[in-house]
């Protein structure tokens, strides 16, 4: 293999994309830089026909960046499979829900919660706007989870979900599968 080709392949690895298997890796905190990288990689791989695989290991991060990645995955014309490794937490669990196929590795775990807006100290109208935004985000988060859970448990209630999300809830792959947050346990080669 020529040095130029080897350097090009190495560059793709630096950006979390592997063209021969149409695989993207999402590792680390979800933020604007990760979002930019993932969106670019999805665009490249979605221009080639065939399934896209995303390997995900993230403790979450910025909900807005997570929502953007969620929308980008949902917008792919090709089928997207997300495989979770290690800890999949917070907004990373929402990204996982966007996939056509959701797989959790046998030794992985998920942590779901409603998140937090943090402490707001500002003019009363800005505080009101921040609370309104937080409530809209909370509803979106609950809707994403409920869409998946109700496929398996049609009578599952929003109140039951709210109770689950009040605190950080860690779940094994088996618990995630039983709830409907993943489709299978295992690893796709």
Catalytic residue among 49, 90, 116, 133: 90
Pairing between β-strand 17-18 and β-strand 109-112 as defined by DSSP bridges: unpaired
Q: How far apart are CA 189 and CA 187, in angstroms?
A: 6
Q: What are phi and psi of 116, to 5 degrees?
A: -145, 150
The 10 Å Cβ neighbour count of residue 140 is: 13
Catalytic residue among 2, 8, 43, 113: 113
User: Running DSSP on this structure, what letter comes out for residue 100?
Assistant: S
Q: Do 39 and 68 form a contact (C-beta atoms < 8 A)?
A: yes
Place of tokens 């907004």: 91
**Which structure tokens are listed for 111?**
């942590």
Output the CA torsion sign for 34, 104, 163, 155: positive
Q: How far apart are CA 62 and CA 116, in angstroms?
A: 11
Whether 153 is catalytic is no
Whether 90 is catalytic is yes
Catalytic residue IDs:
90, 113
């Amino acid at each position: 293999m020529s040095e130029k080709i080897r350097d090009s392949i190495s560059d793709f690895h630096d950006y979390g994309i592997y063209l021969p298997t149409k695989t993207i890796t999402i590792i680390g905190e979800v933020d604007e830089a990760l979002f930019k990288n993932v969106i670019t990689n999805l665009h490249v791989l979605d221009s080639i026909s065939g399934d896209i695989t995303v390997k995900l290991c993230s403790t979450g991060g910025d909900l807005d960046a997570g929502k953007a990645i969620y929308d980008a995955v949902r917008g792919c014309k090709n089928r997207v499979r997300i495989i979770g490794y290690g800890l999949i937490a917070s907004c990373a669990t929402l990204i996982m829900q966007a996939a056509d196929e959701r797989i959790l590795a046998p030794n992985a775990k998920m942590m779901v919660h409603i998140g937090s807006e943090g402490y707001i100290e500002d003019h009363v109208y800005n505080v009101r706007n921040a609370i309104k935004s937080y409530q809209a985000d909370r509803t979106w988060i609950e809707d994403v989870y409920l869409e998946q859970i109700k496929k398996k448990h049609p009578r599952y209630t929003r109140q039951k979900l709210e109770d689950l999300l009040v605190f950080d809830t860690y779940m094994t792959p088996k618990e995630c599968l039983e709830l409907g947050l993943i489709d299978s346990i295992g690893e796709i080669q």
